[in-house]
Amino acid sequence: MLKERNFDLVIVGGGPAGMASAIRAYELGVKNILLVDRNPFLGGILPQCIHSGFGLKIFKKDLTGPEYAQIFINKIKSTNVDVMLDTIVLNIDRRKNVTFSNKNDGIKSIKAKAIVLALGCRERTRGSINMPGDRPSGVFTAGLVQRMVNIEGYLPGEDVVVLGSGDIGLIMARRLKLEGCNVIGVYELMPFSSGLNRNIVQCLDDFNIPLMLSHTVTRIYGKRRLEAVEISKVDKDLNIVPASSFEVSCDTLLLSVGLIPENEVSKAAGVELDENSGGPIVDENLESSIEGIFVCGNSLFVNDLVDNVTDDGYIAVDSAVRFLNNKDDYRRNIDIIPGKNVAYIIPQKISGYSDVIFRIRAKFPAKNAYIEIPEIGFKRKEKFVLPGELIFIKVGKEKLEGFKLSNKKIITINIKESERYGCDC
Amino acid sequence: MKTYISKDIAVIGAGIIGCAIARELSRFDKSVVVIEKETDVGWGTTKANSGILHAGYAGDENKLRFKLSYRGNALFKKYAEELEIPIKNIGSLVNIFDKSFMSTLENLRLQGIRNGLRKIEIITDRDKLRNIEPNLSNLVEAALYAKEACIVEPYGAAIALFENSKQNGVDFIFNSQVTSIHYDRSSKSFNMKTSKGDIRARYVINVAGVYADEVSKMVGDDSYNIQSVKGQYLLLDKVNNSFINSINFHPPGSKTIGILVTPTIDGNIIIGPNYEDSSKDDLSTTREGMGEVRQKALELFPSLPLYTVITNFAGLRAVSNTGDFVIGLSPANDRFINVAGIQSPGLTCTFTISELVFEILKDVGIKFQKNRKFVPVRQKIKRINLNNFSENNELVRNNKLYGEIVCRCEKVTEAEIVEAIKRGSTTVDGIKFRTRAGMGRCQGGYCTFKVINILSRELNMPFECVTKNGDGSYFARNRMI
């Protein structure tokens, strides 16, 4: 039973973002910290990510998901942070009352001075992409199968088709191949993969799993269990190419068709969301539209590397601590606008009074490109730009100095093909 | 094979109508068995249904299906209270885009008044219409507003009727398809072969949905045929629950008849169904069908947030070649009763049909005595109470599993899932229809393996034996080690 009713900082979500937040908050001397998670363990999605590739940036080591998580779990154990597991947060209101439910307390409300939302993300489903056909068993989101295989210890089927080349799809294609499944192929609607390049090489190429771009599943067949899928080619406008369809027999279809930042609780609190990123609108401190509510990890936007998630956890808490100490009252009135070939940018608003890290997601791949922020005369060359790999740009506050005095409170970020290199012919 | 069960009356089909008939009969002293080929109740036409109780204004007075609907609406409301069937009275609008359809609306209104409806009017005042339905298309010229129309949870109703029938002594046999029926003249009873053994009964009620004609043919009755007519639906997320207030129809007579836009009892928006002839086992959705549904829904609500669609599915209407319900004694056997062709507004007529079937059985000469132990009420599974913490925490104190939320989208607790299993769920879909676990926006992405684990624990069966909806629909092929 939770005795305390008031906390300086409540962190919702015990994945990498939430764990980093809790540790940083402890290190910075925050007194009453509560970390809440719905699972019976800390680590979020990491415990089921038994592949390697975690920690290259922060620890300069190639760790597995559970190893990466354990470093933070051990640190939290050495602190006096209150950790409440098996607890689901049902609601947060504007005044930072946090309502949760668990077996011991039932439904209960506590009050926080500041909140970090580290809610993670969820997978897009068959329904959300309007996939037609029968409704048999055997159509899974890739993350569900990852959980089934790596934690529960069960294989979903024998003959596997993967739709979508997001990172989980690529990782699970390899995983099932290693377990002896017949992984027929990975089919991707877009003319490019949304996964990390290294995953395409290490998960598909190294295992002879074909990647078919500009293809999608157009029909599901099967009365009880999946029996086959129909696959069709799509043109550059993503329309199905007539007479291009063929059937593939399979008993398992994995969907890796995108992730959606989890924000049911944020929405309930009244936090403003960004249509482009799917997460809350934040400033350079990762503070949402509600003062004292900070956001990090995949509930802010879907990250490609856990290392970045950890970093954002630190930033969110640094800001939360400044907020708790009433040190920061700048107005965030400069809007950051995604320009040419930019899907979204975090943060969406800045003050101009402090350094900023822009996290930029490209819409389409580009070669010999450059990133341009015309309003502050910024330009940087990028040999390759890929939607699967986030672009970071650090802009010092001195660069924003002149800008914050001007009347025009908009900054645009573009990704353009290089003038110097011209077209890539 | 030895006869392993012998009853006075056998009901073939555990859809909502079969269950309602069973429940009606459970008031009396006769022994009743319901035979169902699926693993659970309401898995045919019942589960993929618009969930509308029509007000009872439509159609030809000479047709049974329209005659039964006006009183059906009132009866349903009464039984819903007794059996805690989810129901909401929200009214319906038949919207017309063209003034030339005014006479159609007027005819419907007059028909409604002849049937006894009072709360029915034609609205031509745009502001008034906007008041009822703010997001309705500006192109709507007028609408017939019938306040008596309701939304219900059709599978929830079937489950309620199943539970109450069972409580009152009715036997249900699932996973059991009737493959042949032999009538024995000397003993005046039917011998039915099923996939689960033989069943003997003195009377048979055929409520086999789209397969009813095939069951009738087993006793030599080919007096009607059933064409299955598919309807595709799209279900939208709950975030839009302030978007729409009532049931919205296109005008009748146009070829889009049937495609409606309505909130569901649980706060989603449902659009559909289209109308296409299909085979009896075809529940597939198609690009074209979903496109038609989307387009017709957008005509009524141009700003409908279609990007929030969470799932698509199809259902089958059982349409008889008589154009009407087929309810009565079979011409081939006077102990065999057909309840077939229960197409729209079949759900509305649920309890007028079950009453009618009871009258037919009395006319045949069955002497019914009251079942003294009959319990008319049934309680639905107690939900987590998000509005009253102290009431909720009383639940948690008595049963800790009420504190454990398994389905985060629909806020379903482990206690509710365990209770659903106690009440007869054996599959993941069974749990879904009883508790809503897995029905939300993540479509089971988060809770499916938890539900599998709970089923496995409670029913003491291995993880890989748990299925989505019965034989062959396994989730896991095998254990890895």
Q: Give the model confidence (pLDDT) of B150-204 as tens digits.
A: 999 999 999 999 999 999 999 999 999 999 999 999 999 999 999 989 999 999 9
A154 touches chain B (CB under 8 A): yes
Closest CA to B432 of B474, B467, B403, B477: B467
Return d(Cα A330, Cα A225) in angstroms, integer. Answer: 58
Is the separation of the CB atoms in A352 and A404 below 8 Å? yes
Q: Give the model confidence (pLDDT) of B75-89 as tens digits.
A: 999 999 999 999 999
Question: How close B240 comes to chain A (CA, Å)?
Answer: 13
Closest CA to B442 of B415, B413, B408: B408
Q: Give the model confidence (pLDDT) of B89-134 as tens digits.
A: 999 999 999 999 899 999 999 999 998 899 999 999 999 999 999 9
Q: Give me the pLDDT at residue B60, please.
A: 75
Return d(Cα B147, Cα B152) in angstroms, integer. Answer: 15
Provide the Cα torsion B105, B107, B109, B113; round to 10°: 180
Which SS3 state, helix, strand or coil, does residue B318 take?
A: strand
Q: How much is the CA Rg of chain A, to the nearest whole Å?
A: 22
Which among A86, A137, A155 has the least Cβ separation from residue B478? A155
Q: Give me the pLDDT at residue B62, please.
A: 84
Q: Give me the pLDDT at residue A406, please.
A: 67
B459 touches chain A (CB under 8 A): no
Q: Give me the pLDDT at residue A353, please.
A: 87
Q: Furthest-apart CA pair in chain A: how many Å?
A: 67
Question: How close B311 comes to chain A (CA, Å)?
Answer: 4
The mean pLDDT of A76-102, rounded to a whole number, is 96
Computed over every residue of chain B, the mean pLDDT equals: 94
With CB atoms and an 8 Å threshold, state whether B446 touches A122.
yes
Assigned superfamily of B92-147+227-315: D-Amino Acid Oxidase, subunit A, domain 2 (3.30.9.10)
Return d(Cα A84, Cα A61) in angstroms, integer. Answer: 30
Q: How many CB atoms lie within 10 A of CB B238?
A: 18
CB proximity list for A327: less than 8 A, separation 6 or greater: none
Residues in chain B within 8 Å Cβ distance of A101: 384, 403, 405
Residue with tokens 């989505």: B468
Is the separation of the CB atoms in A44 and A15 below 8 Å? yes
Q: Give me the pLDDT at residue B359, please.
A: 98
A144 touches chain B (CB under 8 A): yes
Give the pLDDT band (50/70/90) at residue A272: very high
Residues in chain A within 8 Å Cβ distance of B445: 122-123, 125, 141, 143-144
DSSP assignment of B13-60: --SHHHHHHHHHHTTBSS-EEEE-SSSSTTTTTTTSS--EE--S--S-
The mean pLDDT of A194-206, rounded to a whole number, is 93
Share of chain B above pLDDT 90, in %: 90
| Two tokens, residue B330 | 């079979």
Question: How close B462 comes to chain A (CA, Å)?
Answer: 11
A218 touches chain B (CB under 8 A): yes
Domains of chain A: 6-122+260-329 (3.50.50.60), 125-257 (3.50.50.60), 335-417 (2.60.40)
What is the enclosing helix (H) or strand (E) of B351? helix B350-364
Give the pLDDT band (50/70/90) at residue B251: confident
With CB atoms and an 8 Å threshold, state whether B403 touches A179.
no
CB proximity list for A122: less than 8 A, separation 6 or greater: A259, A260, A262, B441, B442, B445, B446
Write a three-state SS string for B165-177.
HHHCCCEEECCCC
Residue with tokens 């309705």: B136
Residues in chain B within 8 Å Cβ distance of A158: 477
Pick the residue from chain A with its C-alpha nearest to B385.
A107
Return d(Cα A20, Cα A88) in angstroms, integer. Answer: 20
**Confidence (pTM):** 0.95
With CB atoms and an 8 Å threshold, state whether A105 touches B401.
no
Tally C-beta pairs within 8 A across A and B. 145
DSSP assignment of B433-449: HHH-TT-STTTTTTTHH
Pick the residue from chain A with its C-alpha nearest to B281.
A223
Q: Give me the pLDDT at residue B66, please.
A: 87
The question of whether B250 is a catalytic residue gets the answer no
Which among A103, A108, A157 has the least Cβ separation from residue B477? A157
Is the separation of the CB atoms in A293 and A117 below 8 Å? yes
Structural domain boundaries of chain B?
Answer: 1-84+153-223+321-380, 92-147+227-315, 389-465
Chain B interface disruption, residue of A154, A247, A257, most B CBs within 10 A: A154
Q: How many CB atoms lie within 10 A of CB B18?
A: 32
pLDDT at B59 over 80: no
Fold observed for domain B389-465: Arc Repressor Mutant, subunit A (1.10.10)
Q: Give me the pLDDT at residue B61, please.
A: 75
Going across the sheet that includes A159-163, the strands are A139-141, A252-255, A159-163, A182-188, A211-213
Give the pLDDT band (50/70/90) at residue A66: very high
pLDDT at B239 over 80: no
Which among B392, B393, B477 has the least Cβ separation from residue A155? B477
B74 touches chain A (CB under 8 A): no
* Catalytic position from the list B37, B54, B378, B432: B54
Chain B interface disruption, residue of A135, A234, A257, A273, most B CBs within 10 A: A135
Q: Give the model confidence (pLDDT) of B331-360 as tens digits.
A: 999 999 999 999 999 999 999 999 999 999
Q: Give me the pLDDT at residue A421, please.
A: 45
Give the pLDDT band (50/70/90) at residue A423: very low
The interface residues of chain B toward chain A in range 205-244, judged by CB-CB distance below 8 A, are 234-235, 239
Q: Give me the pLDDT at residue A409, please.
A: 83
Question: How close A401 comes to chain B (CA, Å)?
Answer: 41
pLDDT at A328 over 70: no
Residues in chain B within 8 Å Cβ distance of A220: 284
Return d(Cα A121, Cα A41) in angstroms, integer. Answer: 17
Residue with tokens 């062709």: B341
Q: Give me the pLDDT at residue A208, please.
A: 97
With CB atoms and an 8 Å threshold, state whether A132 touches B475.
no
Which among A127, A157, A221 has the least Cβ separation from residue B443? A127
Is the separation of the CB atoms in B141 and B121 below 8 Å? no
pLDDT at B267 over 70: yes
Which SS3 state, helix, strand or coil, does residue A318 take?
A: helix
Is the separation of the CB atoms in A285 and A189 below 8 Å? no
Q: Give me the pLDDT at residue B240, please.
A: 62
Residue with tokens 């006869």: B3
Which SS3 state, helix, strand or coil, does residue A414 take?
A: strand
- Residue A169, sorted as left (phi over 0), alpha (psi -120 to 50) or beta, turns out to be alpha
Q: Give me the pLDDT at residue A425, please.
A: 37
A182 touches chain B (CB under 8 A): no
Chain A interface disruption, residue of B398, B473, B478, B479, most A CBs within 10 A: B473
pLDDT at B256 over 70: no
The distance of Cα B189 from the centroid of its chain, to the nearest Å, equals: 31
Question: How close A136 comes to chain B (CA, Å)?
Answer: 7
Return d(Cα A403, Cα A396) in angstroms, integer. Answer: 12
The mean pLDDT of B260-285, rounded to a whole number, is 95
Pick the residue from chain A with its C-alpha nearest to B442.
A125
Give the pLDDT band (50/70/90) at residue B137: very high
Which SS3 state, helix, strand or coil, does residue B163 take?
A: helix
pLDDT at A419 over 90: no
Residues in chain A within 8 Å Cβ distance of B473: 136-137, 224-225
Q: B284 exposed, middle or buried (CB, 10 Å; 0-12, 13-18, 19+)? A: buried
Return d(Cα A191, Cα A234) in angstroms, integer. Answer: 9
Provide the Cα torsion A203, A204, A208, A214; round to 10°: 170
B393 touches chain A (CB under 8 A): yes
Q: Give me the pLDDT at residue A2, please.
A: 80
Pick the residue from chain B with its C-alpha nearest to A251.
B477
Residues in chain A within 8 Å Cβ distance of B442: 122-123, 125
Share of chain B above pLDDT 70, in %: 98
**Between B154-167 and B428-435, two packed helices, what is the crossing angle to 10 degrees?**
100
A102 touches chain B (CB under 8 A): yes
Give the pLDDT band (50/70/90) at residue B3: low
Q: How much is the CA Rg of chain B, to the nearest whole Å?
A: 23
Q: Give the model confidence (pLDDT) of B421-449 as tens digits.
A: 999 999 999 999 999 999 999 999 999 99
Q: Which amino acid is present at A209?
A: I
Buried residues in B318-344 as b, exposed as e (16+ CB within 10 A): bbbeeebbbbbbbebbebbbbbbbbbb
With CB atoms and an 8 Å threshold, state whether A106 touches B442.
no
Question: How close A108 comes to chain B (CA, Å)?
Answer: 7
| Two tokens, residue A41 | 């363990």
ipTM for this prediction: 0.94
CB proximity list for B171: less than 8 A, separation 6 or greater: B5, B7, B31, B32, B33, B34
pLDDT at A318 over 70: yes
Which SS3 state, helix, strand or coil, does residue A104 take?
A: coil
Question: How close B247 comes to chain A (CA, Å)?
Answer: 23
DSSP assignment of B83-146: HT--EEE--EEEEESSGGGHHHHHHHHHHHHHHT--SEEEE--HHHHHHH-TTS-TT--EEEEE
The mean pLDDT of A144-148, rounded to a whole number, is 96
The mean pLDDT of B393-420, rounded to a whole number, is 96
Residues in chain B within 8 Å Cβ distance of A127: 235, 309-312, 443
Handedness of CA B5, B170, B15, B326 (dihedral sign): positive
Give the pLDDT band (50/70/90) at residue A194: confident
Chain A interface disruption, residue of B292, B396, B401, most A CBs within 10 A: B396
A222 touches chain B (CB under 8 A): no
Upper half-sphere CA count for residue B340 (Cβ side, 13 Å) = 32
Return d(Cα A193, Cα A167) in angstroms, integer. Answer: 9
Q: Cα-flanking dihedrals φ and ψ of residue B179, to 5°?
A: -105, -25
Q: Give the model confidence (pLDDT) of A101-116 as tens digits.
A: 999 999 999 999 999 9
pLDDT at B255 over 60: no
The interface residues of chain A toward chain B in range 246-265, judged by CB-CB distance below 8 A, are 251, 264
Share of chain A above pLDDT 90, in %: 88
Which among A133, A156, A179 has the least Cβ separation from residue B476? A156
Give the pLDDT band (50/70/90) at residue A343: very high
Computed over every residue of chain A, the mean pLDDT equals: 94
With CB atoms and an 8 Å threshold, state whether A101 touches B384.
yes
pLDDT at A422 over 90: no
Is the separation of the CB atoms in A307 and A13 below 8 Å? no
Q: How many CB atoms lie within 10 A of CB B110?
A: 12
Give the pLDDT band (50/70/90) at residue A417: confident
Q: B137 exposed, middle or buried (CB, 10 Å; 0-12, 13-18, 19+)? A: middle
Return d(Cα A57, Cα A50) in angstroms, integer. Answer: 18
Q: Which amino acid is present at A153?
A: G
Q: B192 exposed, middle or buried (CB, 10 Å; 0-12, 13-18, 19+)? A: buried
Is the separation of the CB atoms in A137 and B467 below 8 Å? yes
Residue with tokens 């063929």: A246
CATH class of B1-84+153-223+321-380: alpha beta
B388 touches chain A (CB under 8 A): no
Same fold, B1-84+153-223+321-380 and B389-465: no
A106 touches chain B (CB under 8 A): yes
Which SS3 state, helix, strand or coil, does residue A226 take?
A: coil
